[in-house]
Structure 1
Amino acid sequence: MKINRSGSAVWSGGLKDGKGAISTQSGALNAYPYGFASRFEGVPGSNPEELIGAAHAACFTMALSMILGEAGLTAEKMETTAVVTLEQQEGGFAVTASKLTLKAKIPGADEAAFQELAGKAKANCPISKLLDTQIGLDAELLG
């Protein structure tokens, strides 16, 4: 099976004074603004790193849901955050890491099995495979 999904960006102007808009095939984002200020200066708007973070968190959480089901477990609730690090290096900027933080309530799960299954999801979710960067995980099983 092969599935194609698309996102697009439109940009006008120079790097610092230009303006862009991000859209997704699904319509979840429709001409959502992004630019230098939202990426590097904390101004409202989006940026590629937060979109990668949202994609990584969503993919990992879905992968873990599947892996839990295979183990006979169902999550009551899972909340995942992915912090994507953009660093200036010699020759420009690079995304150097994605750190997943998961808080999960999973009835019947013990800590050892939870950590093993979360690690399996981290290693095998398609976005983790795509990123091919240092991917950290802090997983907390809530009582």
Structure 2
Amino acid sequence: MKKLTVIVLSIVIILISWGYLSIRPTLKGFYQSEVNGYHIQVLIREEDNSFVEWIDNREVDRGTYKKSENNSYRIKSNKQSFEITLNDDNSFDIVVDKLNDGKPINMKNISTDDIPISFWDKFDDVDEYKALLD
């Protein structure tokens, strides 16, 4: 009886461990980071494979994404095209040369909701922020 309990307990532990190890991150939701005084946000909408990018609450870009392989995704818009790799903690790195001298900026997932988000304030300097992506 004791041997059977140990075997059953071992199987349960193995199944639970396997379940945790097989969980893969999903590119979805709201990502955010701060670098050199700028707040960068990206919304990833899984339902239509779209993204919106903001810098300091100013929309600077929008476009689509497509899964390449494993955890790699191709991001494409009229303004830029680049590839990201989703990390195990559901974060990814982007490069905005004019904000961080070409060094990666880690975008952390703060919400897996992919509901549309818009900032209600109107800014007169949006073009200056869009120019950061050039």
As a proportion of its length, which structure holds more helix? 1
Please identify the structure whose Cα radius of gyration is greater: 2
> Could you say which structure has the greater relative contact order, defined with CA pairs below 8 angstroms and 6 or more residues apart?
2
TM superposition score normalised by structure 2: 0.32
Normalising by structure 1, what TM-score? 0.30
Larger fraction in strand: 2
